[in-house]
């Protein structure tokens, strides 16, 4: 059973940076595609970006140029480096994973993920 544990959330002023981590157990990230999602109070869950089992990444337009997704296979973890944070980035951030399929891609849709972490709160003040 794959388990995901996020860490690294907190409070930061606008323009600041945070790095979120998602530690994976129960499988290796080279066999998973993974995604970052966020949900602000009263809003729908929003895709932030994802990484394929091969390590390729893609981000949502709303965070492109500010957020970077990367992996460290040595510690079996996925990361979300968030720079130039804005108040509208305030949300609960969650990582998700699924067994990689033949396509080798990743998904922007929550229903394509089988495993979810508990989330970590990010609050950006103006």
* Length of the chain in terms of residues written: 126
Give pLDDT, residue 101.
78
Condensed to tens digits (0 to 9), the pLDDT of residues 56-77 reads: 999 999 999 999 999 999 999 9
* CA–CA dist 116, 125 (Å, integer): 27
- Report the chain's mean pLDDT, rounded to a whole number: 96
Condensed to tens digits (0 to 9), the pLDDT of residues 94-123 reads: 999 999 877 789 999 999 999 999 999 999
Give pLDDT, residue 78.
98
- Extract the runs of DSSP E, i.e. beta strands, from the chain: 3-7, 10-13, 18-25, 32-39, 46-51, 57-59, 67-72, 77-82, 91-99, 115-116, 120-125
């Amino acid at each position: 059973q794959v388990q995901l544990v996020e860490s690294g959330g907190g409070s930061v002023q606008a323009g600041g940076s945070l790095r979120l981590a998602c530690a994976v157990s129960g499988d290796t990230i080279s066999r998973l595609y993974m995604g970052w999602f966020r949900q602000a109070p009263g809003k729908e869950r929003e895709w932030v970006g994802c990484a394929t089992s091969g390590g390729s990444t893609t981000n949502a337009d709303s965070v492109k140029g500010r957020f970077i997704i990367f992996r460290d296979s040595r510690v079996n973890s996925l990361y979300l480096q968030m720079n130039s944070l804005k108040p509208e980035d305030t949300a609960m951030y969650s990582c998700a994973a699924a067994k990689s399929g033949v396509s080798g891609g990743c998904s922007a849709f929550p229903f394509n993920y089988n495993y979810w972490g508990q989330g970590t709160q990010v609050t950006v003040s103006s």
